[in-house]
Structure 1
Amino acid sequence: MTTHSFPFVMDIPNLDAAPYYHVLDSDQPLQQIRLPSGHVATHLTRYDDCRSFLADPSISRTLCNVEGGPTFLPGPTQPELLLNLDNPAHMRSRATVARAFSKRGVESLREHVRTTTRRNVQRMRDGELAPDLFASVLQDLTSSTVCHILGIPLQDRELFRPWSQIIQSAPPDDIPGIEVAVKASFDYLMDFVRGTRHAEPDGFIRQYVDQRASMDDPLTDEEFVGVLLGILLGGDHNALSVMTKSVYTLLCAPALWTHAQRNREQLPALIEELIRVIPIGKLSAFPRITTQAVSTSRGEIPAGTCVYANVFLANRDPAVFSEPLRINPLREDKAAHIQFGHGIHSCMGPALARLEIGIVLETLIEQLPDMQLDRAPKSLAWINGTVLRRPNELPVRF
């Protein structure tokens, strides 16, 4: 199969979203945009500029997460969340999850992911579950895996998943609804940390809490819950969005699905290519503020400037990726995508996402090789939130 057989991004209905910002007319060397919050931000779109900027330790997320600060969201989010911390606070909190979410660390989840996926696909084949990959397989996988990691009850999914979805996909004017959902999620996790809810002894929550007495500089309850909230949100709905859109893309592109079936040893490369072109939602990163002058390929950015490093467009930089809009699993470009971010605020879950998507695709190839979408792609319901954007159903026939 030649590379010319593979589709372009625009060939997949609804895969791309309209930018969630407005480009401004400006005579400045670097493009200026207006964020949903009304703030003007310098817009970085080149791969090398975005990568260098995100790796710069002088840029600040904390300065953005204030009342009236530059944001894509309705307002500031929990200050203890990893995405809002600057160093050294970020490094201190991130260290608690570094080992658990490393490539070696997530290997302990392989059996859970494989068993859960195979069981649900088989139940769908047997008619016990609806023939909908999203409803019957994917959302159960990501949510049960998060419960498994944290050591919280599976039945609590009916409680916390609606809060998580509101936080990441509610309309931008629903500030009260988002605030209620954030507080409910924070309080729910705090109950496990303080022991008013029962967490399993082999889960991440209990293991950390039980070891705190022997640590030199343990996180406070609030700091630890900030880490847990990131796991609860990202490990479930964020991972689900990337996985759902990856499977949706394969269902819409027979050339890619055929390639996956015939070249199973190349699945990791296919997964990386899907991740490169598929953003989680309408934004690819959060704004930062420079605390000192920063150099770019098109000039210097002064201190005190709000900057949006557009990872989404950086991953489609034609100077780095040949035919950047083609979904090409045989890509020979040397640069790695930065869809998971770069620098201190890079996503903590890439190894888990790769593991889950890989096992899902392997299972579908084995058990549903002839699967097809059972409806026209344009007719599918989507969630179109700011942070989360994905199909909300994947009906299939096989």
Structure 2
Amino acid sequence: MTMSPTSTGACPYPFKRPSALEQPQELRTIRRDPVVPVTLPSGDRALLITRYADLRSVLSDERVSRDLTRPGTARMTKDNVMFQDPHISPDPPEHTRMRRLITKAFTPRRVEELRPRTEKVVAGLLDAMEAGPRPGDLNEALAFPLTIRMTCELLGVPIEDQDRFRAWTDHFLSVSRFTGEEIGRARGELIAYVQELVAAKRAEPGDDLISAMIAVQDDDTSGLSEYELVYWTMLLLIAGYETTAGQLGSSMVMMLDRPQDMARLRDRPELVPPAVEELLRLQVMGSSLSMLRYVKEDIEVGGVLIPAGSSIIPSIESANMDPEVFPSPETFDITRKDNHHVTFSTGIHFCAGAALARMELQVALDAVVRRFPGLRLAVPVEELPRNEGALIQNFLRIPVEW
């Protein structure tokens, strides 16, 4: 027998962290129910999918759509449509075609070829941090300059424009930090810039991802349209930079709060990759607001009937702490095996930049633990502020001493 969820007593979402590194208290209890009603920053209601197996099932269900332009769909926020675009279909078959073309251009080989360059960039940034004022700020010294530089190099974006991109992405990913007018203005400026960039790459192709996306063709010889190229360039630029920068900063705070694990990584560098996976599992940057979906037909989730027309959020942060999948899920374990977290999503919307993010995180973490064995936070971890008004809730400052 199935039951329908009610919106009575819906709790506010995203959940609040009780402290800098603690997970929201709600994540310890919400999996008692497979579906939990929540209220979004927009004031709209949605249903949170809390369990790992259900999340994977929902994200592969053709009755669940990512098209948030449908009438009646819950809004993430009142003033920001983020990646919603009525001219770009986020569902098959159009999304499948676009994704196939992007995958052809964004190959693991292309990412792996950036590893030596990433190592060189990290070394240079750490040189500058060591020679600079103390305490240093890991965000400004490493996390943000590394990720935006590598994203710009991958895409073929002039590095001198990185400060402009940082301002644009801050607005683009705002939940409550900026007004609708400010967000709209930044969005327009970013679109105009990317349009000019794509046109320049079409006129003079280079050895970069934008040029590769322009050149790639599908089996029917049709490539990405001009509009699709602009959309995907924006998506890769914003997601590839901001999320990885936030994840790197948060990962470093997590490790610095555990000096015994830092020492283990110095002694056993082969633990860096599993440590990165565990950091990805436990330090999800913010909430799963961006996972918002629309239910086209009735579906059943964990014995609960979700009617057509509902808005749902498959909760990555809850799924990553499901004890049915992760033994002792609240324990941070850099030796954890079979760590099949869903931080990069799953199915047809698996993060296209996952390989790049993993590579950057591995290179940066390995370099920091070797280069600065005495690195420590310059303030108590509880005093580190997070960016609460944005989709990516990174640490605003990470002052460190060594």
Q: TM-score, normalised by structure 1?
A: 0.86
Equivalent of 1:87, from 59, 82, 92? 92
The answer (yes or no) to whether the contact 2:135–2:401 under 8 Å persists in 1 is no
* Gap change, CA 1:198 and 1:113, over 3 Å in 2: farther
Are 1:392 and 2:396 an aligned pair?
yes
Once the two structures are TM-superposed, the CA of residue 284 in structure 1 deviates from its matched residue by: 5.5
Task: Tell me the amino acid that sits aligned with residue 344 of structure 2.
Answer: F
- 3-state SS of paired residue (1:384): coil
Greater shift in the superposed pair: 205-214 or 267-276: 205-214
RMSD over aligned Cα, in angstroms? Answer: 3.2
The alpha carbon displacement at 1:41 in A equals 2.1
Counterpart of 1:319 in structure 2 is 324
> Are residue 149 (structure 1) and residue 154 (structure 2) matched?
yes
Offset at 1:299?
3.0
User: Which range moved further: 276-285 or 366-375?
Assistant: 276-285
Any stretches of 5+ residues in structure 1 without a counterpart?
Answer: 1-9
1:301 aligns with 2:314: no
2: distance between equivalents of 1:140 and 1:104? 23
Deviations 1:289-348 (A, max 9, x none): 12223232223333332211111101111222121111112224x461111111112211
CA deviations on 1:35-64 (whole Å, 9 max, x unpaired) are: 2233332221011111111121331011x2
In structure 2, the residue corresponding to 1:195 is in which secondary structure?
helix
Identify which of 330, 338, 352 aligns with 2:356.
352
Query: Where does residue 14 of structure 1 map in the other structure?
Result: 20
Task: Confirm or deny: 8 A CA contact 1:270 1:329 kept in the other structure.
Answer: yes
| 1:151–1:180 CA distance, 2 compared to 1 (3 A) | same
In structure 2, which of residues 376, 380, 383 is the aligned counterpart of residue 376 of structure 1?
380
Is 1:209 the counterpart of 2:214 in the alignment? yes
- Deviations for 1:102-139, whole angstroms, at most 9, x for unmatched residues? 43331011122111001111222233897222211221
The amino acid of 1:106's aligned partner reads V
Give the Cα separation in 2 of the matches to 1:314 and 1:214: 37
* Cα separation, 1, equivalents of 2:268 and 2:201: 50
SS at 2:35's partner residue?
A: coil
Could you tell me which residue of structure 1 aligns to residue 231 of structure 2? 226
Counterpart mapping for 1:258-273 below 5 A: 258-273=263-278
Moved more, 65-74 or 191-200: 191-200
Looking at structure 2, the residues matched to 69 and 292 of structure 1 have their Cα atoms a distance apart, in angstroms, of 14
* 1:266-285 to 2 correspondences below 5 Å: 266-283=271-288, 285=290
**Cross-structure match for 2:334:** 329
- Counterpart CA distance in 1 for 2:374 and 2:161 is 35
Q: Which moved more, 1:271-280 or 1:32-41?
A: 32-41
SS across alignment from 2:43? coil
CA distance in 2, matches of 1:261, 1:301: 49
Per the alignment, residue 7 of structure 1 pairs with none
Aligned-pair CA distance for 1:68: 6.3
1:46 paired residue among 48, 51, 56: 51
SS of alignment partner, residue 180 of structure 1: helix
Q: What secondary structure sits across from 1:70 in the alignment?
A: coil
Larger mean Cα displacement after TM superposition, 274-283 or 91-100: 91-100
Deviation digits for residues 164-190 of structure 1 (CA, Å, limit 9, x no counterpart): 111113526611111111121111101
Deviations 1:66-106 (A, max 9, x none): 57631323343354599961111211222232144443331
Equivalenced residue count is 383
C-alpha contact 1:82 1:94 (8 A) present in aligned 2: no
Distance 1:133 1:40, change over 3 A: closer
- The letter for the 2-side match of 1:337 is H
- Using the alignment, how far apart are the partners of 2:25 and 2:350 within structure 1? 22
Contact 1:169–1:384 (Cα < 8 Å) also in 2: no
Instruction: Compute the TM-score of the two structures, normalised by the length of structure 2.
Output: 0.86
For 1:348, the aligned partner's letter is A
Which is further off, 136-145 or 279-288?
279-288
Conservation of the 8 A alpha-carbon contact between 1:311 and 1:338: yes
Q: Alignment identity in percent?
A: 26
- Specify every segment of 5 or more residues in structure 2 that has no aligned partner in the other structure, as ranges: 1-15
2:103·2:352 contact (CA, 8 Å) conserved in 1? yes
Deviation at 1:196, TM superposition (A): 9.2
| Aligned residue type for 2:354 | P
Offset, 1:215: 7.2
Distance 1:126 1:181 in 2: 35
Taking structure 1 as reference, are residues 201 and 188 closer, same or farther at Cα in structure 2, changes over 3 Å only? Answer: same
Distance in 2, matches of 1:346 and 1:266, equals 25
Q: 1:122-158 deviations in whole A, cap 9, x for unaligned?
A: 2222338972222112211101111101111111112
